[in-house]
Amino acid sequence: MIGNSQFSSPQATEWVKGKVIGSGSFGTVHLAMNKATGALFVVKTAQSEAGLQFLKNEANILENSNSPYVVQCLGKEDVSNCANGERKINLFMEYMCGGSLSDVAEKFGGALDERVISLYTREILLGLKYLHENGIVHCDLKCKNVLLGSSGNIKLADFGCAKKLLNHDMIKTNGKSMESCKVMGGTPLWMAPEVLRNEGLDFAVDIWSLGCTVIEMATGRAPWGDDKVSNPMAAVLMIACGNEIPQFPAQFSKEGLDFLEKCLERNPKRRWTTEELLDHPFVTGKSGDGNSIKEDACSPASVLDVGCYDGSYESDESPDGGKTEIVWLNKVVGMVYMPL
């Protein structure tokens, strides 16, 4: 079992809530401080039934996780109001002061340099490898759900849609075959075609979303283009039932383009695994003959100015809370939609 015993849940009298730094379909995110130590952390709070389920799932997924590439859950607090019967959950999370990859791209002109994308992609892959080895599918990978620390290190976050799959020991010997899971969620423009067709779930769906996230980092836009964002229902049908893949960045190297081809293979059985992708030249910086294909080294920290961040954190806002899309998608494929 993997452990996270170095953390304990703050008691109600031990911490003070600060400003709102994010909000979404599940509830709100506040910055908080431990009154005894001055340490900063994040409190995610939900009161609606859907929000409670979202945070409970996130807590269950993260309670035993221990990876430098996955955001840490510090504990959970259930709060009940006996007078009116209301209930809420506070989920205590590690504070990542650099914001999300979406914030970084916005601060640096909307898109990132390919060398930086390569380095971030490697760390995302290491996070996914850890999750998959422990039978977990993230299900909602995108730039908004990848957070940065002060040194430029990245961690996967927002596990409200994640699924813990059974019999993952069997799967380790056959990484391209997985059990079916008929209750799914995520963000449609980042979802794999088989997910939108409600055909089940395996680790390969995260690989498709990774390819979409790489395109997002390279272009500063949603993987299928801004026109699809304005009509997500039509986009879902196109992704699920068509033969298209997202348009690749024109400026990408041949290694980057090949990497995307391996991720965005419509047949999930032919998609590369995390282990295979970690050996890809786009990530390693080495060609097939062992020679370097990158001119110089570039650390993620070297492109970041910590002082430029405004502290936004895991914000998934939409004007109507995504209600229209939720109703429509539930009727069509029976899934939960997370707003862009």
Residue with token string 């995302």: 124
Residues 199 and 283 in one domain: yes
How much is the average pLDDT of 224-228?
Answer: 69
Burial grade of 83 (CB within 10 A; 0-12, 13-18, 19 or more): exposed
Q: Which amino acid is at 312?
A: S
Residues 79 and 119 in one domain: no
Residues 147 and 174 in one domain: yes
Q: What is the pLDDT at residue 191? A: 94
- Assess whether 226 carries a catalytic annotation: no
**Does 317 fall in a domain?**
no
Q: Which amino acid is at 79?
A: V
Q: Which domain holds residue 71?
A: 12-95
Which of 78, 103, 113, 140 is flagged as catalytic?
Answer: 140
**Does 316 fall in a domain?**
no
Q: Can you give the CATH number for the domain in which 258 is found?
A: 1.10.510.10
Q: Which amino acid is at 129?
A: K
Q: What is the pLDDT at residue 209? A: 98
pLDDT tens figures, 231-267: 778 888 889 998 889 999 999 999 999 999 999 999 9
Residues 223 and 127 in one domain: yes
How much is the average pLDDT of 211-228?
Answer: 87
CB 215 within 8 A of CB 246: yes
Residues 141 and 47 in one domain: no
Burial grade of 205 (CB within 10 A; 0-12, 13-18, 19 or more): buried
The strand pairing partners of 85, in sequence order, are none
pLDDT band per the 50, 70, 90 thresholds, residue 142: very high
pLDDT band per the 50, 70, 90 thresholds, residue 316: very low
**Does 65 fall in a domain?**
yes
Please give the Cα distance from 279 to 277 (Å, whole number). Answer: 5
Strand-pair category, 185-186 with 163-164 = unpaired
Query: Domains in the chain: how many in total?
Result: 2
Please give the Cα distance from 188 to 335 (Å, whole number). Answer: 10
Domain boundary among 95, 128, 162: 95
Closest CA to 221 of 129, 112, 137: 112
Please give the Cα distance from 80 to 88 (Å, whole number). Answer: 7
**Does 109 fall in a domain?**
yes
Give the residue numbers of the binding site: 44
C-alpha 277: how far from its chain's center?
Answer: 18
**Which region among 48-57, 165-174, 303-312, 322-331 has the lowest average model confidence (pLDDT)?**
322-331
Residues 19 and 149 in one domain: no
Q: Would you say residue 320 has pLDDT above 50?
A: no
Q: Can you give the CATH number for the domain in which 62 is found?
A: 3.30.200.20
Residues 78 and 188 in one domain: no
Q: What is the pLDDT at residue 11? A: 67
Residues 59 and 163 in one domain: no
Mean pLDDT of the chain: 80
Please give the Cα distance from 317 to 24 (Å, whole number). Answer: 5
Q: What is the pLDDT at residue 218? A: 96
Q: What is the 3-state secondary structure (H, E, C) of 21-54?
A: EEECCCCEEEEEEECCCCCEEEEEEECCHHHHHH
CB 139 within 8 A of CB 201: yes
* Angstrom distances, CA of residue 281 to CA of 45, 52, 129, 287: 42, 42, 18, 6
CB 303 within 8 A of CB 113: yes
C-alpha 54: how far from its chain's center?
Answer: 14
**Does 227 fall in a domain?**
yes
Residues 20 and 137 in one domain: no
**Does 331 fall in a domain?**
no
Q: Would you say residue 328 has pLDDT above 90?
A: no
Q: What is the pLDDT at residue 286? A: 74
Q: Would you say residue 338 has pLDDT above 60?
A: no
Domain boundary among 95, 123, 145: 95
pLDDT tens figures, 74-126: 998 888 765 566 788 999 999 999 999 999 998 888 899 999 999 999 999 99
Residues 205 and 131 in one domain: yes
Give the residue numbers of the binding site for ATP: 44
Residues 77 and 127 in one domain: no
Domain boundary among 43, 65, 95: 95
**Does 112 fall in a domain?**
yes
CB 45 within 8 A of CB 88: yes
**Does 320 fall in a domain?**
no
Residues 73 and 127 in one domain: no
